[in-house]
Amino acid sequence: MMRSALSRRILGAVVIAICAFLILPTLAVVPVSFTKTEFIIFPPKGLSLQWYDVFFNHPAWRNATLTSIAVATAAAICSTAIGTLAAFGLNRLTGPMARAVIWLLLLPMLVPTIVLAVAFFSGLARLGVVGTKAGLVVAHTILTLPFVVINVSASIQKLDWRMVAAARSLGADPITAFRKIALPAVLPGVLAGAVFAFLTSFDEVVVALFISGVDAVTLPVQMWNGIRFEISPAVAASSSILLLLSVAFLSVGAMLLRGSGRNAAEMRSR
Amino acid sequence: MLRLHRGGIATLALLAPAVVLLAAVLIWPVLELASRSFRDPGGPFVLYARVIEVSTYLQVLLRTVTFAIATAAICLVLGYPVAFKLATARPLAKALILACVLLPFWTNLLVRSYGWILILNPRGILNSGLMDIGLISSPLDIVYNAIGVLVGMSHIMLPFAILPLYAVMTRLDPQLANAARTLGAGPLHTFLKVYFPMTLPGVMAGVLLVFTISLGFFVVPAILGGPRGLLLAQLIEFNINTSLNWGMAATLSTLLLSATLLLYAIADRWLNLGSIWGLNR
């Protein structure tokens, strides 16, 4: 179809325009972050690293970054552990039971974030952990669980269980067979899940806005304040750094997933 | 009912941590929130009646649905050609397009919304560019209003439309369309009668996914929208943080959640939700 050169050229131009629409707003933050002015102007005037200086040295920005790193690391570790176990459990189920458990495990991805935020807010208030890092870790562990389950499940489905059975018949006990055969085979999926869980927690805005309080301000919350209340170019500097982080993580995630034959594209909540 | 493999205990033990965590911190509070919406002193459905009676609430609901429909339509129109190109392009072009789709997909929501402010604001990239070349004399009013919200929402949801379409298109046999052409069908006819119908599952999945997620948008309308023209998620936040009306927040949350889960259930029945995320069995 669409054999004629003209229609193919029109299609190409349209696709290039749409790709520009996708990519340009993402990249627009980079030039602005080097501005000398106190305000955002385009094209930026002068060239300076002052907003990166603010990002790395101003206490509010530095603390927010450190909080985000701590919360995302803890949440990624918890959800990777819990999600990996759950993926192995899910793999043992069939039929309606499997469907029900899939729904349950995907729920944090399906429920609108604003509803999650309200529910976490009231749920964690009862535990007295609203406004603490612990509360954020619990909430983000749940929020990132589906990414781990999806990635690990994909590797498990590719796993050749006959190899595990062979190890068993050669005398390995179940735990050894699992540790030596199954675990190394699914490791890329586990690591990819951990990477995506970290990035999801590190980027998360809405739930953090509701439950971070004043003591657990994360980087996205700090950026939110910066965008809503001052429009400072420091937001552009921090945006550029987050962009760099996304590129790095996406590359690592894609590399890990290539091993398990999956596409980094397929999962992402809003 | 519980038909477990042998070693059902092990299965339970593997799933237990996730299930307990989800039940305690997600499902229980959500159920409690839902029950709160029926516990107004005036009667169980008083709050729901108020949503319909008070014109502000009803307006927000209608606006939210309208924006979600518009976003889904825009994403389908923009996403279809990109997915088609992606499915048929050579490896290099394919990798470049995929990078353009995936980089924003995995970039912080705030970064992207902020990027749109930089482009669309009265002194931003677009307006100053258009004024420099003399196409307009005063800046276009394209941010902090409905236009800004629609641009931002479409930008964020576009990959959600492209990826299911692409998944369906790569599985198609291109020879079918070629066969139609050989048998004498024109390009438009071939597309409408042969190619497009075969991509319908991807169209449905993409549109349903975009529409459903769009119902709950909060960050984009809060940053790119104006002080008026709130969407549903913003109204929920307003009821909690500003008017401290937990009953109404619970009611609106329950409406949003029910609509979302219903739409996902429909998607699951038609399109097998698990397969969208590769959890098919």
The pLDDT tens digits for A181-203 are 888 889 999 999 999 999 999 99
Are the C-beta atoms of A263 and B277 separated by less than 8 Å?
no
- Confidence class for position A42, pLDDT limits 50, 70, 90: low
pLDDT of residue A130: 84
Domain that holds residue A86: 54-260
User: Considering the domain boundaries, does residue A34 fall inside one?
Assistant: no
pLDDT of residue A38: 73
State the CATH number of the domain containing residue A74. Answer: 1.10.3720.10
Residue A193's nearest CA partner among A242, A149, A156 is: A149
**Which residue segments constitute the domains of chain B, with CATH numbers given?**
1-36 (no CATH), 45-276 (1.10.3720.10)
Cβ distance B112 to A95 less than 8 Å, yes or no, reads: no
Residue A139 exposed, middle or buried by CB count within 10 Å (0-12, 13-18, 19+): buried
CA atoms in the 13 A half-sphere facing the CB of B36? 19
Residue A269's nearest CA partner among B217, B182, B56, B52 is: B217
Q: How far apart are CA B158 and CA B146, in angstroms?
A: 18
User: Considering the domain boundaries, does residue A80 fall inside one?
Assistant: yes
Residue A104 in contact with partner chain B when CB distance is under 8 A? yes
pLDDT of residue B96: 93
Average pLDDT over residues B78-92: 93
Number of domains chain A contains: 1
User: Considering the domain boundaries, does residue A161 fall inside one?
Assistant: yes
Interface of B with A in 63-122 (CB under 8 A): 78, 81-82, 84-85, 96-98, 100-119, 121
| pLDDT of B26 strictly over 70 | yes
Cβ distance B15 to A90 less than 8 Å, yes or no, reads: yes
Cβ distance B103 to A26 less than 8 Å, yes or no, reads: yes
Q: What are phi and psi of A203, to 5 degrees?
A: -90, -10
- A93: its two tokens: 């189920």
**Could you give the angle at which helices A113-127 and A133-158 cross, rounded to 10 degrees?**
120
| pLDDT of A41 strictly over 70 | no
Residue B105's identity, in one-letter code, is F
| pLDDT of B280 strictly over 90 | no
User: Considering the domain boundaries, does residue A47 fall inside one?
Assistant: no
Helix (H, G, I), strand (E, B) or coil at A258: helix
Dihedral sign for Cα atoms in the order A164, A165, A171, A172: positive
Residue A16 in contact with partner chain B when CB distance is under 8 A? no
User: Considering the domain boundaries, does residue A181 fall inside one?
Assistant: yes
Q: How far apart are CA A25 and CA B181, in angstroms?
A: 40
A3-7, B176-180, B189-193: segment of lowest average pLDDT = A3-7
Are the C-beta atoms of A211 and A117 separated by less than 8 Å?
yes
- Confidence class for position A129, pLDDT limits 50, 70, 90: confident
A172-181, A212-221, B8-17, B133-142: segment of lowest average pLDDT = A172-181
User: Considering the domain boundaries, does residue A46 fall inside one?
Assistant: no
- A118: its two tokens: 């309200």
User: Considering the domain boundaries, does residue A40 fall inside one?
Assistant: no
Q: What are phi and psi of B145, to 5 degrees?
A: -155, -170
Q: What are phi and psi of A174, to 5 degrees?
A: -55, -40
Within chain B, what is the greatest distance between any pair of CA atoms? Answer: 75
